[in-house]
A and B are shown apart, each in its own frame.
Chain A
Amino acid sequence: MAMSVSTGLPPDAPVIAPDLTMTSLSEQVSARVLSERAPLWWHIGFAVGFMLLTLLIVQMAWLFINGIGVWGVNIPVAWGLAISEYVWWIALASGGTIVSALFFLTRSPWRSATNRIAESMLLSAAPCAGLMPIMHLGRPGLFYWLFPYSTVMGVWPQVRSPLWWDFICLICYILMSVMYYYTGILPDLATVRDLAKSRSKQILYGILALGWRGSVRQWQNQRVVYAIMSAIMAPMVISVHSVVGLDFAGGLTPGWHDTQFPPYFFFGAVISGTALIMMLTIMVRWGYGLRDVLTEYHLNAMAKVMLVGSLLLAYAYVWEAFGPFYGSDVAEKTEFLRRMFGFTASAFWSEKILTVVIPQLLWLPSVRRNQPLLFLISTGIILGMWQERFVFVTSSLEHNYMPSYWGHFFPTFWDWAALAGTIGLFLTMFFLFLRFVPIVSLAEVREIVEEKRSK
């Protein structure tokens, strides 16, 4: 097993609780979907999410009526919170694919029980990411001009622009993610259908299961398709987030114009995406009482991925600081010094502490087993990554080449409403996933149960 070199847990630490059987697994997980009443914490979480979603709708209405002047963006800082949060959300979404596709290819056993949480998170975060650049457009209704079609205008999108690659990447990524999710969940929907007692649920899940009977041929096709899609998704997510990095690297702005940003952004996705999966896994584990399926083994493994992510990020931070002083560009140096010690200094340093310094605690096995602490560290990482994106996007524009062109960015109420609103959209979607689909991949955990039994 890939993760057997664990230092915190004994080498044979169980991936799942020893007394878990195939039947109890199916019943435990499906019961959450089929129960008539959702638990109280689900109602609270969904209500909070839905209220914030309402705020998003109000914010969008206000924004579309009045234009983006309701935000704090202006010249010189024309890219504000919306673009920072686009990068932030797409990084969180990418984490879902990294855990679910990359670690599928490595056959890591901890991925089997967490991949559904990761993919649900991805599908909830991707629309939040996609919404941000559309809200940021001056004329949002014309976003479809990005599609490469030309019937009446005689002009095509600028194919040499990373911004356009970004659009194509995001569309492909979301479509692929939906298909990947559905391919994986198909056998589980059939399980829910078979366990459903009420006629309406039998029909609903029966339609969703697309006639899955679990025949050998169906399984064979499903596994082949799933493996091929994983092999496409894993490099795809790297390219998607690299292109987000190119949006900035392609710009002639001090602090952005650097070839390291494609991998830099990907490193951010590794750590922040895993951190969000960690938080959600702990929530599902306690909320749904799935301690037999989502064990300390999983948390331990994800903590290690976070630790690797923080080291990668530290490496990127070093190069980010090295670049301006290695080159001879005065503007690069000035911008970086202002970023470190100027207007954005507090966010700059707190982001370094939250994403690189504090995660070093994860070297200690006792920390990797302490769930409240893991939850706090993950929250800190996500907050830190938000600050990182914010400083990265705004600080460069605040200190462009011409000192006469300098200015500061101050978010308005509606900037914050957009952030809170997309969090609401995320929570609403994730809680709907929690309620209506098996949140743990039954088919894949059954494999682990079977392997353990046959040993």
Chain B
Amino acid sequence: MAIFGPRANLFMNVALAGAGGSAIVLLLAIWVVPVMGYNTQQRFAPQQPIPFSHKHHVSGLGIDCRYCHTTVETSANAGMPSTAICMTCHSQIWTNAAMLAPDRKSLAENKPIHWTRVYGLPDYVFFDHSIHIAKGVGCTECHGPIGDMALTWKAQTLYMSWCLSCHRDPAPHLRPLDQVFNAHWHRTPSTPSGQTLMAEYHIHTRDLSDCGTCHR
């Protein structure tokens, strides 16, 4: 008695094709899933307690980055503004605006506002804002067109390959020190070349991609 009918060949071929197809799908998934926006949260603006607009404050009013992010030049952390900083203006203007209610509540209760972090790094990465500012890396290199963001969204994947792309070749990402906080700066023919700036800032790429530079 035959064990298998003529249709068994079809099942076998389907099974083989399925196995081959699964392997291809798996491989694709390994490459594609990590770069999906869903995974990286790139171009995603998380919900904030107050819908703060950088576009209005930076481009509209011309407030300098450092007015709110006070420690960006001196510390690893750029520093989130205290409620008191918001209140330097908002104790005088828009004092009854509904969207600023959390701000007034924070002042009254003496409790800081819980902003939602947009740029989260793992604990084993030691990023330092001050050194990047000191070496002429502008805010918009990592934070994208922050001056034009009505709501703050994540401009980069923050993948290690992205960090390394600059650490291996910093020249194209450098600008004159007086332009670091300019949210609309772009390179002009009169801008010193990246190589010139690297020499001026004493940036040596030899150690810049060592493990210990970021993973202490």
Q: Residues of A with Cβ closer than 8 Å to B?
A: 149-155, 193, 202-203, 206, 210-211
CA distance A193 to B160 in the complex (A): 54
CB–CB B157/A152 < 8 A: yes
> Is residue B185 contacting chain A, with contact meaning CB distance below 8 A?
no
Give the one of A151, A152, A211 with max B CB within 10 A. Answer: A152
What distance in Å separates the Cβ of A419 from its nearest Cβ neighbour in chain B? Answer: 33
Quick one: closest B residue to A203, CB to CB?
Answer: B3
A residues less than 8 Å from B12 (CB atoms): 210-211
By size class, the interface of chain B is 10 to 19
A154-B165, A203-B3 known; A149-B160 Cβ under 8 A: no
In-complex Cβ contact of A206 among B3, B157, B161, B162 (8 A): B3
CB–CB B30/A151 < 8 A: yes
What distance in Å separates the Cβ of A106 from its nearest Cβ neighbour in chain B? Answer: 36
In-complex Cβ contact of B161 among A154, A202, A203, A210 (8 A): A154
> Is residue B94 contacting chain A, with contact meaning CB distance below 8 A?
no
Main secondary structure of the interface of A (DSSP, over half): loop
> Is residue B67 contacting chain A, with contact meaning CB distance below 8 A?
no
In-complex Cβ contact of A149 among B9, B30, B159, B164 (8 A): B30
CB–CB A152/B3 < 8 A: no
CB–CB A202/B3 < 8 A: yes
CB–CB B35/A151 < 8 A: yes
CB–CB B30/A152 < 8 A: no
What are 19 A-B residue pairs whose CB atoms fall within 8 Å in the complex?
Answer: A149-B30, A151-B30, A151-B34, A152-B34, A152-B35, A152-B159, A153-B160, A153-B161, A154-B159, A154-B160, A154-B161, A154-B163, A154-B164, A155-B160, A155-B161, A155-B164, A193-B3, A202-B3, A203-B4
- CB contacts under 8 Å to A, within B54-110, are none
Quick one: closest B residue to A149, CB to CB?
Answer: B30
CB–CB A152/B4 < 8 A: no
A residues less than 8 Å from B35 (CB atoms): 151-152
A residues less than 8 Å from B38 (CB atoms): none
- 6 new A-B contacts, CB < 8 A, other than A151-B31, A151-B35, A153-B159, are A151-B34, A153-B161, A202-B3, A203-B4, A211-B9, A211-B12
CA distance A153 to B12 in the complex (A): 40
Quick one: closest A residue to B4, CB to CB?
Answer: A206
CA distance A152 to B160 in the complex (A): 6
